Amino acid sequence: MEKVLEKNYTDSHQSKIEERNEGLSFNTKYFDGININRSAIERRVGTLTARRSVKKEFQAAWLLKAISMIDLTTLAGDDTRGNVLRLCEKAKHPVREDLLAKLGMQDAGLTTGAVCVYHNLIPFAKEALKGTSIPIAAVSTGFPAGKISLEEKLTEIKKSVAAGATEIDIVISRDLVLESKWKELYEEVKLCRQACGDAHMKTILATGEIPTYTKVAKASWVAMMAGSDFIKTSTGKESVNATLAVSLVMIRCIRDYYELTGVKVGYKPAGGIQKAKQALDYLILIKEELGNDWLNPHLFRFGASSLLGDIERQLEHYVTGRYSAGFRHPMA
């Protein structure tokens, strides 16, 4: 059993860090002809869970893989140094040691993919993660609404990078998408990418506030053309956040961009992903649409705060045959 777990956890997990996306010159020819068939998209994802399932030790291995792809997040108004330090400890030790030992994974070095915090909490995360390779992601550019000037957005990015963030999650100006001002959106994202310097940039589209899949697809293309290393669904603050349907639209744009340029752009669904079963659905979708290369933390992340707790609970059930109360797996 342990060999099966180790093999399935590590298959497609170890991958080189992808080259940065340098983007393309702005040209609407890449997305002018896009017109998304909503019913076809929803029919495709509606059959996904019925056609594919992962069981027993394979499910445990996939859940371990999912942990390594979580941006463990705290973006609450009452965040303090204390709960950021606690979050970072959970990121370093995401599963109880006794469970890892029973799974034969005690020496796997399992951590979450990153921790994600507000700008002012970066120093505390840096303190807690010293000596590890866990990235610090910071939300920026007037998160979550993005209703500040472009100059303020760029300044905020630079301050976050200087403070120690190695990944920056930016929010776009949604009005530019709603009004189809694609050139202006391109320039905004490109300037944000330049301000990030060596830090990787994830561009949040806030898809719950974009009325059509066609506009989601066009915004995805513009964000990638402008140099985004990842495209991300949501801030987690919208009334509708990540869904499988919007994910399918975005990852097919990623696939088309890769076929055009040879550059692999990452994907991050965020908001509302709370259960292990949901995580498996997203991993299956990624495997089917993009392939194994994207099943690693360099190209796929979950933006989540409570998902880890349910995954740990499911792993305990796999080991013991019993479900424990959620409070036995705190700070997730």
Reply yes or no on whether the pLDDT at 66 is more than 50: yes
Which of 52-56, 58-62, 200-204, 217-221 has the weakest average pLDDT? 52-56
Positions marked catalytic? 169, 232, 268
Q: Which of 92, 15, 21 is nearest to 296 (CA)?
A: 15
CB contact at 8 A, 269 and 247: yes
* Domains of the chain in sequence order: 2-328 (3.20.20.70)
The DSSP call for residue 266 is: E
CB contact at 8 A, 201 and 170: yes
54 vs 63, residue with greater confidence: 63
Give the pLDDT band (50/70/90) at residue 2: low
- Helix, strand and coil content of the chain, in percent to the nearest 5, comes to 50, 10, 40
Reply yes or no on whether the pLDDT at 231 is more than 50: yes
Range 15-40 average pLDDT: 90
Length of the chain measured in residues: 332
Check residue 50 and give its pLDDT: 78
The DSSP call for residue 323 is: P
> Which residue type occupies 265?
V
Average pLDDT, the chain: 93
Range 265-283 average pLDDT: 96
User: Rounded CA gap, 105 and 107, in Å?
Assistant: 5
Give the pLDDT band (50/70/90) at residue 10: low
CB contact at 8 A, 66 and 111: no
Q: Which tens digit of pLDDT belongs to each residue from 189-225?
A: 999 999 999 999 999 999 999 999 999 999 999 999 9
